[in-house]
Amino acid sequence: MAKLIPVVYVGKKPHAFDNVARSGKCWNGEGDVQEVTDAQAKTLIKFPDQWALADEADRAAVDAPTSVSGTDEDGKEVTVDPAELTKPLEKMNKAELTALAKDRWGKELDPKLGKKQMIDQLEEWAETLDVTSGVAE
């Protein structure tokens, strides 16, 4: 299970919505702290003019390699090594394909689809969706 990390908003806007890591969190101005997963924190702190770790003691957890979750054919949540998401789609199993959809576009891919259908859907999203937000460009 992912560890929750407190992240502080350091930007100047009166409100900030996480449109980067897709956590669904909203900060109420500078100094507000919200908890996000370690993977989301890792993404957010790439924008130091907007977000920072509320506690530097969490740096080790954020810098540690993250894992991505996917869903296998039985509907069970499985952990996938992010390195597995770099191989060609045809060489991925269904759990890796569902993890890729969730990680890259924030989309749920039905694990009951055939592998070819899953790959077709991923290729369509790759052409039409913005990687950062998971919405049509």
Structure tokens at 98: 């569902």
Structure tokens at 109: 């891919």
Using CA atoms, how far apart are residues 74 and 42, in angstroms rounded to an integer?
A: 30
Judged against a pLDDT cut of 60, whether residue 137 lies above it is answered with no
- pTM over 0.85? The answer is no
pLDDT tens column, 36-48: 988 788 889 999 9
Q: Is the dihedral of CA 76, 79, 108, 59 positive or negative?
A: positive
Structure tokens at 126: 């790759």
Using CA atoms, how far apart are residues 119 and 65, in angstroms rounded to an integer?
A: 26
Q: What per-residue confidence (pLDDT) applies to 21?
A: 84
Domain ranges of the chain: 4-63, 68-128
**Residue 9 and residue 27 in contact, taking contact as beta carbons nearer than 8 Å:** yes
Q: Which residue has the tokens 């959809």?
A: 101
Residue 95 makes CB contacts below 8 A (sequence gap 6+) with 70, 71, 72, 78, 80, 111
